[in-house]
Chain A
């Protein structure tokens, strides 16, 4: 009786097996760097959801590489999710504690989250590593202006404008920030 039951069940499973979907093992043809580049191309074309996926995969495939996490943070920032952006930059800094771009971007995200004290620390560290970087000077000035240190902020922005070529699009942003801090104009 038991043998008959077993046979019937085996037969049922065999029949059922014909109807069940085939199991397909998917393999990933891209390495971490290629996933990162694919993410960058999606980000450039404005497909931010696809970019998020590609950067997450790149970051997971090479756990020692920090760049996909900075890029991931930038996409979160573009989506207005500053909390996730800050988390990504922090993860990038865990992988490479000396990356000034991750420090600068973390400071910027923290400024948007109202965490000016932490932002001051990170922006100072970024500028210490690359004292001539115009972007880092601008972020530092923004953070300083939020903590009431207007004079120092304006000095840094004047330096940044002096260092930038006339046609650089960042120049206008810096001038606009300078005006806002000085309290002249919109």
Chain B
């Protein structure tokens, strides 16, 4: 009986009610009213959910084929390599292919190397660049 009285005590009930009031103001779903992403064909992604895996696989295949060719593999070697890759490996390779080549850091290092070479050659040949 005492326990029931404690439960209905206004000192306990009011803080709970006030806390509940604030929680009620928090929106339930943050992005429910956003227009969904669309494919290039204009269809909403969820409309093509059945085909989305095959679209991804085909495009990743294209990316990996090009990367392997960039690294000097012949078409036959590319075919052989692609044939030995699982879908998961293909996905990983396609995901990583954007990062290869060093990106901005690689470009900066290449430019610095070229500048260093030019300066060194000018220095050795005892020539100077004069900006007037």
Contact = CB atoms under 8 A, between A and B. Distances in A.
B131 to A, nearest CB: 25
Contact of B59 (A9, A34, A53, A135): A34
A87 interface: no
B63 A33 contact: no
A170 B32 contact: yes
Tier of interface size on chain B: 35 or more
A138 B101 CA distance: 46
A75 B34 CA distance: 11
Interface string B65-100: 111001110000000000000000000000100101
A40 B39 contact: yes
Given A40-B52, A104-B33, A135-B35, A5 B40 contact: no
A27 B33 contact: no
Given A33-B40, A40-B38, A41-B59, A26 B67 contact: yes
Nearest to A160: B33
Nearest to A20: B113
Contact of A108 (B33, B45, B63, B66): B33
A110 interface: no
A96 to B, nearest CB: 13
A26 B60 contact: no
A50 B72 CA distance: 26
Contacts of B70: 24-27
Contact of B31 (A37, A67, A108): A108
Interface in A129-183: 135, 138-139, 142, 170, 173, 176-177, 180
A105 B34 contact: yes
A80 B59 CA distance: 28
A74 B36 contact: yes
Contact of B45 (A9, A26, A44): A44
Interface string A87-120: 0000000000000010011001000100000000
A131 to B, nearest CB: 16
Interface string B15-34: 00000000111011111111
- What 10 A-B pairs come out closest when comparing CB atoms? A33-B40, A41-B56, A101-B35, A29-B66, A71-B37, A173-B32, A139-B33, A38-B59, A138-B33, A74-B37
24 contacts: A5-B124, A6-B125, A26-B67, A29-B63, A33-B40, A38-B60, A40-B37, A40-B39, A40-B55, A41-B45, A41-B52, A41-B55, A44-B46, A44-B49, A45-B52, A67-B38, A71-B37, A74-B36, A78-B31, A104-B35, A112-B30, A173-B28, A176-B29, A180-B24
Interface of A: 2, 5-6, 9, 23-30, 32-34, 36-45, 47, 50, 53, 57, 67, 70-71, 74-75, 77-78, 80, 101, 104-105, 108, 112, 135, 138-139, 142, 170, 173, 176-177, 180, 185-186
Interface of B: 23-25, 27-40, 45-46, 49, 52-53, 55-56, 59-60, 62-63, 65-67, 70-72, 95, 98, 100-101, 110, 120, 124-126
